[in-house]
């Protein structure tokens, strides 16, 4: 299989696994049907479209391009969960006044110190 067609083969396999047609997957991601036709003839989508498709199929962009056989990395999901938790904490910190923010900072220092000792 030529390198140019690896993406389209991966795309077809992922569509099949998800139970959608290639046109439907494109439509779900606001991608034109003509893009699918170009991919069929060897074109590679740009980075933005690759990212959309990777999210849609829950795979890495490397998997879509045929650079790896690993569909996705669990660490990414863990990082996403961690990222969500951090966003929640930051939003709470934004609501604190200056004095309470200093207390929160001191408490975080305490927790880090305690964690290092464990």
Q: CA 12 from chain center: how many Å?
A: 20
pLDDT tens-digit series, residues 48-98: 999 999 999 999 888 998 888 877 765 545 566 777 888 888 888 889 898
Q: Rounded to the nearest 10 degrees, what angle do helices 33-40 and 3-18 cross at? A: 130
Cα 118–chain centre separation: 33
27: pLDDT confidence band, cut at 50, 70 and 90?
A: very high
Residue 109: pLDDT band with limits 50, 70, 90: confident
* Least confident range of 15-19, 23-27, 81-85: 81-85
Residue 65 contacts residue 14 (beta carbons within 8 Å): no
């Amino acid at each position: 299989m030529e390198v140019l067609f690896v993406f389209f083969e991966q795309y077809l396999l992922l569509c099949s696994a998800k139970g959608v047609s290639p046109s439907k997957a494109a439509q779900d991601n606001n991608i034109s049907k003509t893009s699918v036709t170009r991919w069929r003839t060897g074109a590679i989508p740009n980075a933005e479209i690759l990212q959309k498709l990777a999210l849609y199929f829950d795979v890495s962009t490397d998997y879509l391009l045929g650079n790896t056989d690993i569909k996705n990395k669990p660490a990414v999901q863990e990082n996403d969960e961690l990222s969500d938790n951090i966003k929640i904490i930051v939003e709470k910190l934004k609501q604190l006044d200056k004095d309470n923010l200093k207390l929160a900072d001191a408490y975080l220092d305490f927790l880090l110190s305690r964690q290092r000792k464990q």
